[in-house]
Amino acid sequence: MKATAKAHTNIALIKYWGKRDESIILPTNSSLSLTLDGFYTTTTVAFQEDLSKDSFILNDQSVEGEAYQRVTNFLDKIRNLSGKTNLYAEVSSINEVPTAAGFASSASGFAALASAGTRAIGVDLSDEELSRLTRQGSGSACRSIYGGFVEWEMGSRTDGKDSQAVQIKPETHWDVRVAAVVLSSTMKKISSRAGMKRTVETSPFYTGWLDSIPNDMKEIKSAIRDKDFEKLGTVAESNCLKMHATTLGANPPFTYWHDTTLRVMHTVQEMRANGIPAYFTIDAGPNVKVLYLPENEDRVKEKLQEIPGVDRVTLSKPGPGVTYL
């Protein structure tokens, strides 16, 4: 009753920003991501008859509180699927998604937990079923079941049975790279969960965001199919800017950007003006991710590292879906 799974983090090119159901995590829009090679979580789940509660060890440290509660609530879903509702587990995770790399670990974390947990308890799910289950731990995690370019189809049902991720193209299709630009300073953080909720509830720009998604989705899929980097980058950058614009319209208004965030955005636009194709995208935090092609790697890295206020730049290739160890 023990299994180990490895799942990679992903970066959204068309952002998930808003829920229509908070309890089973149903989004208000479809999103599309690239799974990344460099950052992953490896999780072992061992269900044992002699346990009276779950335990969660992350990077060799016992976890309590909210993070523990999210894991044990998610294990309840796995227990319910199997019918073994009184069986508890030891969960042990190693995160190779250092906070210092500027990525959230919830995507790879819940994808690895769902995969290892279902396998350990003996529930056999298709990838789509696994993605739907994973979604209920953390929305963006449902995309990390697959490698390469992945769409989370929002679905329209209220029970979530049509809200899951599907692979658009595998990681071998196109070597698009991502530089994670981590800033040295930090600021008071509004979690993505709280930020998207406030935006949905109060921002008059939110409907404009939603209206723009179908066209962005169509354009980015054709860019991926045709390996048209300029189109891919243009759509991703514009989609990111629209998402962040909704936060300025929220009440109270907020932004995830820093002064250095803007400096990185300007540098990326300057690189393009100087003939280096590079595009930025930003999630619910001040760090910036830059899309580029392998032939420009050295120049892109050098330019980004020179920016005052940038702490480090971490590079990644497209990565695979879940694997079992």
> What SS3 string covers the chain?
CEEEEEEEEEEEEECCCCEEECCCCEECCCEEEEEEEEEEEEEEEEEECCCCCCEEEECCEECCHHHHHHHHHHHHHHHHHHCCCCCEEEEEEEECCCHHHCCCCHHHHHHHHHHHHHHHHCCCCCHHHHHHHHHCCCHHHHHHHCCCEEEEECCCCCCCCCCEEEEEECCCCCCCEEEEEEECCCCCCCCHHHHHHHHHHHCCCHHHHHHHHHHHHHHHHHHHHHCCHHHHHHHHHHHHHHHHHHHHCCCCCCCCCCHHHHHHHHHHHHHHHCCCCCEEECCCCCCEEEEECHHHHHHHHHHHHCCCCEEEEEEECECCCCEEC
Of 152 and 292, nearer to ligand 2P0 (C-beta) is 152
Stretch that binds ligand 2P0, among 45-53, 111-119, 134-142, 207-215 (CB under 6 A): 134-142
Q: Give the residue, chosen from 20, 193, 263, 317, that forms a contact with ligand 2P0 under the rule CB under 6 A.
A: 193
Residue among 84 and 193 whose Cβ is closer to ligand 2P0 = 193
Cα–Cα distance measured from residue 233 to residue 29, given in angstroms and rounded to the nearest whole number:
20
Q: Kindly state whether residue 25 participates in binding ligand 2P0, applying the rule CB under 6 A.
A: yes
Residue among 16 and 209 whose Cβ is closer to ligand 2P0: 16
The contact mask relative to ligand 2P0 for 96-125 (x = CB under 6 A, - = no) is --------x-x-------------------
| Residue range at the interface with ligand 2P0 (CB under 6 A); choices 46-54, 137-145, 227-235, 245-253 | 137-145
**Cβ closest to ligand 2P0, residue 92 vs residue 144:** 144
Assess 134 for contact with ligand 2P0 (CB under 6 A).
no
Distance of closest approach, residue 287 Cβ to ligand 2P0, in angstroms: 12
Q: Least distance to ligand 2P0 from the beta carbon of 27, Å?
A: 8
By CB under 6 A, residue 140 contacts ligand 2P0: yes
272 near ligand 2P0, judged by CB under 6 A: no
With binding defined as CB under 6 A, does residue 192 bind ligand 2P0?
A: yes
Rule CB under 6 A: choose which of 15, 79, 132, 198 binds ligand 2P0.
Answer: 15
Give the one residue of 12, 97, 168, 236 binding ligand 2P0; rule: CB under 6 A.
Answer: 12
Considering the rule CB under 6 A, would residue 138 count as an interface residue with ligand 2P0? Answer: yes
CB of 43 to ligand 2P0, least distance (A): 17
Q: Tell me the residue number closest to ligand 2P0, measured at CB.
A: 139
Q: What is the three-state SS of 75-122?
A: HHHHHHHHCCCCCEEEEEEEECCCHHHCCCCHHHHHHHHHHHHHHHHC
Q: State the nearest-atom distance from the C-beta of 196 to ligand 2P0, in Å.
A: 7
Write out the residues near ligand 2P0 by the rule CB under 6 A.
12, 15-17, 25, 31, 104, 106, 138-140, 192-193, 283-284
